[in-house]
Chains A and B, each alone.
Chain A
Amino acid sequence: MKRLLVLLLAVGLTAAACGGNKSGGSAGSSAVTISNEQGTTWTCGFNPFNASVSFLSFGTEYEELTYVDGLKSGKTTPWLASSYAWGNGNKTLTFTIRKGVKWSDGKPFSAADVVYTFQLLKKYPALDLNANWSVLKSVTQNGDKVTFQFKTPAVPYFYYIADQTPIVAKHIWSSIKNPTTYKDDHPTGTGPYTMSSCSPQVIKYKKNPSYWQSGKPAIDTVYYPAFTSNDPANQQLASGKAQWGSQFIPNINKFYASKSPDNHYWFPPVVNVAVYINQKDPVLSNLAVRKAMAYGIDRSKVSQVGEYGYEPASNQTGIVTPTFSDWLDHGLAKQVGYNPAKAEQILQQAGFKKSNGIYQTPDGKPLSFTMINIGGYSDWVASAQIVAENLKAIGIKVTAENLSSQTYDNDVYNGLYQLAYDGNQTAGPTPYYELRSLLYSKGSAPIGKTAGSDWERYSNPATDKLIEDYAATADKAQQHSIVTKLEQAMVDEIPVIPVTEGVDWYQYNTGSLSGWVTQGDPFARPAAYVNPDWGVMLLHLKPKA
């Protein structure tokens, strides 16, 4: 018995000692390890049109036509296309495809691959994750030029076509019988890395020696371990085993930043976390109630207490600052701030009467609502609690209901809620994308039917018109003036109440590597789960001399 224990302990100790030596890495080759908890083990599939794995190949193996920087209001960098031009009243988009690019199997890349990729999306709608073919009419090739014809002017779709669609090889994909269920376990791409080995626990990427951007990438190997829970992923960052993190870390200064002077973090805000208000609810459809709530929520308290100060407070215009500050109408942003006295005044003016501390509608219904929330997100649970307390103080009773994420999403998509604490909308390169997903009624659906956007069921023909007008103009000044009018609608009609600004989680270690995205040089969105931005980041990284 005792001997067995001693033996076990001895084996363990020697093995632990061996394990300790390994973390230093072998000399002469550079590597970066990513720590990004996805709550899943790897399937070792890399199909870039499969939404659950595309983030593992799009940016490293597969590349985009033009890179669009979401932290620089959509500044473009030529990528697989050397240039692009709009024509025909913004209904025709022409790309000139780069010469001299090779697939990782050595075959040349050409405009035919680009056309083929888009034909593939047309033939298999299951692959068309950005619904490109809802606006496209045709895609044709003419030498090294590829021309996209749109049904209507489609300026915002540039982002989805140029930046969000990975280009695949015709000579590989044309022989695949069912691209929807194709695993793509050895992807052939044009990108800076190739997949070298994969297990459910870790993916190893190796540098593509014949990459078209000469001399790049500088890092030989990328390790991407799979984490099924947050704590081990955070621990790898704190111990320095992983250099690039995309993690929510509670108490980050003590847990991470204080462990090494090389540990840094930056959380750029990209998209709002908001209280969605179901516009079809008989009581919530009253503007006075929504306005009172917008005045009643102390956003900076939610930011500080609920979100550890990581996510800054939002403003009612829906423009995320400082990322999109030059789009913000400062006058509008100041209009609806935290002012509980004003909130009660609005309710009283609208004829609501207080009884037992809760306001009642003129026909005697108390202002009492449930707000659904995802119970698994501890920060949202805390934030929702503060929102509920704030609203109780102005005489509106809100009960936070913490649900499992699939019940929650089912309710939000189908409009089966009164209030929802949510961050469902996706970030885009300009604030327009988020405002469209919040306000465009043509993306919505009746209660009980699944809506792809506009989950609060807001509908205003004038707002829809503004959103369509934006699509027709590539002129910056005009775009800005339309977005200002959308901000006005957010402030006047309160379809949702932005509370805090959701961020890209980003930690980086400058001990052995340089070239990281910083606040001063945001050349890409820095979270490892953002595509194709993580490929751009990997191309900038360099080993320190």
Chain B
Amino acid sequence: MRFVLRRLGFFVVTLWAAVTLNFLIPRLMPGNAAIAMMARYKGHVNPQALHAIQIAFGVNNHQSLVSAYFAYLGNIARGHFGISLTFFPDTVAHQVLQALPWTLALVGVTTVMAFVLGTLIGLVSGWRRGSVVDGALPPLFVITSAFPYFWLALLSIWLFSIKLGWFPESGGYEVTTTVGWNWTFITDAVNHSILPALTIIVTAIGGWILTMRNNMITVLTEDYVRMARAKGLKPWRIMWTYAGRNAILPNLVGFAMSLGFVVGGAILVEFVFNYPGVGWMFLQSVENQDYALMQALFLMITVTVLLAILAADVATAILDPRTRERG
């Protein structure tokens, strides 16, 4: 109990620091949202529009940094994230909620799949060192993980979409499809997600395989594994409950963190595949100096990462009594 309380206290302090940095860092950037908007529409909008946009955005309403900070804290506490200037005049909350499901479905599912598959492959190849599985899969996926993501993604678009025509090359769904919970739309959306999903899994899986396999090898030399063998337990039982359970511990925190980062989207994936998720929105908010949207996204990522770490700490404490404090 005391352990959990201490972890909670740590969580609150980290959260405050993150929220404050989140407020300060964007304000160190040069320029303002009105100029950023003019940059985005270079040549398509009359230069005179700068004046009108500054009024609309309230760019010249000089508010002191301190009062802006407290207004910001108050708004966050009440869940008010304000109006996005990139998607003016839409609210930040509406925009984020619109993009989040796409990211959760794509990046969330692939993160879990990469972890599960990677851990399983690592477990088996660590257990049966020198086997065919161990000789083929880990080196293969370590190589694919080392590819720069955008290169792999562009290559797979070229091969599977343009040359072979198996999958659509971009977007979350076909433009002529009507969005809704119907079979046509769902199959269309799934179809559009396969290629980005495969590229994510292929590039993410190698790390999990490697760490899991190495952890397995270390754990297998432990005395309690030898003891289990000596007791004559079935090999699969030793692999799962003796070796596997202990080998996975160091990976749990990593997995929790990567789950937390899911809500940040995958900027490269969404950019290359023109996918309507949060990662791309994040990039936009930075490019357009959209403080409100930037802060909301930063906050969302920080909070979920912190929560995920908290959950991983608790899970580790349950799985591994050694990490619990005495007393």
Instruction: Give per-residue flags for B186-219: 1 if the beta carbon is below 8 A from chain A beta carbons, else 0.
Output: 0110110010000000000000000000000000
* CB of B28 to closest CB in A, whole Å: 12
Chain A residues lying within 8 Å of B43, measured Cβ to Cβ, are 271, 423-427, 502
Chain B residues lying within 8 Å of A128, measured Cβ to Cβ, are 52
* A47 and B271 within 8 A (CB): no
Which of B86, B90, B95, B274 is in CB contact (< 8 Å) with A229? B274
* CB of B290 to closest CB in A, whole Å: 11
**Is B41 close to A, CB under 8 A?**
yes
How extensive is the interface on chain A, given as a class? 35 or more
What residue of chain A has the Cβ atom nearest to residue B34's Cβ? A450
Chain B residues lying within 8 Å of A201, measured Cβ to Cβ, are 171-173, 175, 276
Which of A15, A182, A239 is in CB contact (< 8 Å) with B191? A15
Q: Name the interface residues of B54-86: CB closer than 8 Å to any CB of A.
A: 55-56, 83, 86
**Is B169 close to A, CB under 8 A?**
yes
CA distance A406 to B35 in the complex (A): 7
Q: Do A19 and B168 form a contact, CB below 8 Å, given A406-B35, A452-B48? A: yes
Q: Do A229 and B272 form a contact, CB below 8 Å, given A12-B191, A183-B90, A410-B30? A: yes
Chain B residues lying within 8 Å of A85, measured Cβ to Cβ, are none
* A450 and B50 within 8 A (CB): yes
* B89 and A50 within 8 A (CB): yes
* A43 and B87 within 8 A (CB): yes
Chain B residues lying within 8 Å of A77, measured Cβ to Cβ, are none
* B35 and A413 within 8 A (CB): yes
CA distance A121 to B232 in the complex (A): 86
Which of A11, A181, A183, A409 is in CB contact (< 8 Å) with B31? A409
Q: Do A131 and B178 form a contact, CB below 8 Å, given A182-B89, A405-B39, A424-B42? A: no
**Is B20 close to A, CB under 8 A?**
no
CA distance A228 to B167 in the complex (A): 19
Which of B55, B175, B272 is in CB contact (< 8 Å) with A126? B55
What residue of chain B has the Cβ atom nearest to residue A125's Cβ? B55
* B31 and A130 within 8 A (CB): no
How extensive is the interface on chain B, given as a class? 35 or more
CA distance A13 to B271 in the complex (A): 24
What residue of chain B has the Cβ atom nearest to residue A16's Cβ? B166
Instruction: Give per-residue flags for B6-28: 1 if the beta carbon is below 8 A from chain A beta carbons, else 0.
Output: 00000000000000000000000
* A407 and B31 within 8 A (CB): yes
Chain B residues lying within 8 Å of A437, measured Cβ to Cβ, are 47
* B175 and A33 within 8 A (CB): yes
Which of A22, A41, A127, A164 is in CB contact (< 8 Å) with B46? A164
Chain B residues lying within 8 Å of A271, measured Cβ to Cβ, are 43
CA distance A413 to B54 in the complex (A): 13
Which of A23, A181, A409 is in CB contact (< 8 Å) with B39? A409
**Is A260 close to B, CB under 8 A?**
no
What residue of chain B has the Cβ atom nearest to residue A44's Cβ? B90
Which of B47, B55, B83, B271 is in CB contact (< 8 Å) with A228? B271
Which of B175, B281, B284 is in CB contact (< 8 Å) with A223? B175
The interface of chain A, by Cβ under 8 A from chain B, is 8, 11-16, 18-20, 22-23, 25, 33, 39-41, 43-45, 47, 50-52, 55, 125-131, 134, 160, 164, 180-183, 197, 199-202, 223, 225-229, 231-233, 235-236, 239, 271, 404-410, 413, 423-427, 437, 443, 450, 452-453, 502, 529-530
The interface of chain B, by Cβ under 8 A from chain A, is 29-32, 35-53, 55-56, 83, 86-90, 95, 98-99, 154, 161-162, 165-179, 184, 187-188, 190-191, 194, 270-274, 276, 280-281, 284, 287-289
Given contacts A39-B284, A43-B95, A126-B52, 9 further A-B contacts (CB under 8 A): A19-B174, A22-B174, A126-B56, A180-B89, A197-B178, A201-B171, A226-B276, A235-B170, A236-B170
24 contacts between A and B (CB under 8 A): A12-B166, A14-B187, A39-B284, A43-B87, A47-B89, A50-B56, A52-B88, A126-B55, A131-B52, A181-B88, A229-B272, A232-B171, A233-B274, A405-B42, A406-B287, A410-B32, A413-B35, A413-B38, A423-B42, A425-B43, A426-B46, A426-B47, A437-B47, A452-B50
The list of the 4 closest CB pairs from A to B, nearest first, reads A232-B170, A15-B191, A410-B31, A126-B56
